[in-house]
């Protein structure tokens, strides 16, 4: 499973199709604006991994655990894709390693 890269304009025009790819095809969508990463569309499985990793890495926190839960910025940088993680100060964790741990 790779990451599909699309422009912000393409993402706007094909949002429903991209959302279905992320939800049902377990595909990750990277959205770029002017050649820079603007955001991602991920499916529920990847979001569950992010949430559980955020809760597991919190220092004594209980985590919110709900569908509206967000990941602490520190945890998000640990799980960032390689091109983003390279600029992060913390060590990155690959999706494969995270999946195996859970």
Secondary structure of the chain in HEC code, one letter for each residue: CCEEEEEHHHHHHCHHHHHHHHHHCCCEEEEEECCEEEEEECCHHHHHHHHHHHHHHCCCCCCCCCCCCCCCHHHHHHCCCHHHHCCCCCCCCCHHHHHHHC
If asked whether residues 98 and 75 sit together in one domain, one would say: yes
If asked whether residues 10 and 31 sit together in one domain, one would say: yes
Identify the pLDDT of residue 67.
Answer: 47
Identify the pLDDT of residue 89.
Answer: 44
- 9-66 pLDDT, tens digit per residue, is 999 999 999 999 999 988 999 999 999 999 999 999 999 998 888 777 765 554 444 4
Residue 96 belongs to what domain range?
44-102
If asked whether residues 38 and 48 sit together in one domain, one would say: no
If asked whether residues 92 and 53 sit together in one domain, one would say: yes
User: 4 or 99, which is more confident?
Assistant: 4
If asked whether residues 15 and 50 sit together in one domain, one would say: no
pLDDT at 81 over 80: no
If asked whether residues 35 and 56 sit together in one domain, one would say: no
Count up the domains in the chain and report the number. Answer: 2
Choose from 48-52, 79-83, 84-88 the range with maximum mean pLDDT. 48-52
If asked whether residues 51 and 28 sit together in one domain, one would say: no
Q: Enter the tokens of residue 27.
A: 């595909």
């Amino acid at each position: 499973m790779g990451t599909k890269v699309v422009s912000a304009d393409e993402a706007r025009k094909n949002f429903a199709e991209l959302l279905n790819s992320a939800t049902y095809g377990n595909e990750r969508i990277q959205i770029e604006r002017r050649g820079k990463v603007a955001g991602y569309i991920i499916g529920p499985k990847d979001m569950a991994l992010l949430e559980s990793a955020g809760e597991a890495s919190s220092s004594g926190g209980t985590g919110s655990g709900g569908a509206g839960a967000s990941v602490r910025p520190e945890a998000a940088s640990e799980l960032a894709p390689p091109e983003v993680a390279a600029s992060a100060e913390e060590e990155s964790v690959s999706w494969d390693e995270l999946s195996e741990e859970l």
